[in-house]
Amino acid sequence: MKEFNEFDAYINDELNESEKKSFEQRLQEDIDFYEAFESHRNIVLGLETYHLKNILKEHKLPSNNKNPKKYGKYIVSAIVLAIAATLIGIALLKKPPQKPPKPAKENNDKNIFALYYETDPGLPSKMGFSKQIVFDKGMIQYKIKNYNRALEHWNALENQNNDTLIYYKAMIDINTGNYSKAYSDLQKLDEKSEFYPKAQWYKLLILLKEKKEQEAKALSKELISSKSNYRLEDIKEIYQRLSKIRE
């Protein structure tokens, strides 16, 4: 039990400097002690994450589920809301008027870009194919977010009008905050390019980032009616959010 308490004291940072030093020295020198401590620490981490997981499970996240089987739940919520609204109405009649609530536009949807943006993970690198090796070297740097090194490789390539190259250089521009340049480069890609649907999606996100909400709305509308299914649900959701902002 003494060892057990000592483990807890170390984990909870309750040992003084000399106790801590001698504990750590023993960890380095005594393999049995080290293994017993590791086992104890793993069990403690298991207990902590067990509780953490329970907290997360109990925390309600907003749902986007449109499953008709769950309408019953909505009806109950609507009844609860109606009762709450009635009670609030009665309370308001009794109280002097408060400050008006901020419009929804101020509270929500201020940064739609951040909600939806995630960087393109890049293409698989097929090391060893000489034709592509320079591009692939750049792609490896891109994946580890070493964008300057990626550009060094890619700028050395002869054909700068290649659609893959244009697209990934634009991705670097987005990741480094050069949104206007990224937008104009993405516009160079035509419908024949396999990157066209993705380029349209990132153009939409750039418009959102630059707070060009009307243009973003027009583009999302255009994309919804296009043949592409790329991020279609997200685009529809963005369109709805933008429509609410306008209201």
Partner 1 sequence: MSDIKKYNDSIIEAFLKKDDKTILRFYEEQWIKVRSVISKMGGNEDQAKDIMQEATTALYINIKKNKYKNRSDVSISTYFVQLCKFRWYDLSKSAHFSKSQSINTNEQLMLMNYEEEYTKQIDLIERNNQLHKTIDLLNQKCKSILLDFYWKKMSMAEIAKTYKMTIESAKNAKYRCMNRLKSLFKSKKAIGNERI
Q: Which residues bind partner 1 (CB under 8 A)?
A: 1, 4-5, 8, 12, 35-36, 38-40, 42-53, 55-57, 59, 61-65, 115-116, 118-119, 121-125, 143, 145, 231, 233-234
* Integer Cα distance of 10 and 48 in angstroms: 16
- Give residues with Cβ within 8 angstroms of 230, minimum separation 6: 197, 198, 200, 201
Q: Which two tokens stand for residue 213?
A: 């909400």
Toward partner 1, which CB reaches closer, 125 or 226? 125
Toward partner 1, which CB reaches closer, 8 or 19? 8
CB of 204 to partner 1, least distance (A): 14
Toward partner 1, which CB reaches closer, 92 or 144? 144
CB of 72 to partner 1, least distance (A): 17
Q: What is the dihedral of CA 231, 237, 243, 246, to 10 degrees?
A: -100
* Integer Cα distance of 172 and 120 in angstroms: 9
Toward partner 1, which CB reaches closer, 31 or 93? 31
- Give residues with Cβ within 8 angstroms of 125, minimum separation 6: 136, 139, 140, 143
Q: Are 138 and 122 in contact (CB under 8 A)?
A: no
CB of 121 to partner 1, least distance (A): 6
Place of tokens 């009649």: 93
Toward partner 1, which CB reaches closer, 78 or 144? 144
CB of 163 to partner 1, least distance (A): 16
CB of 52 to partner 1, least distance (A): 6
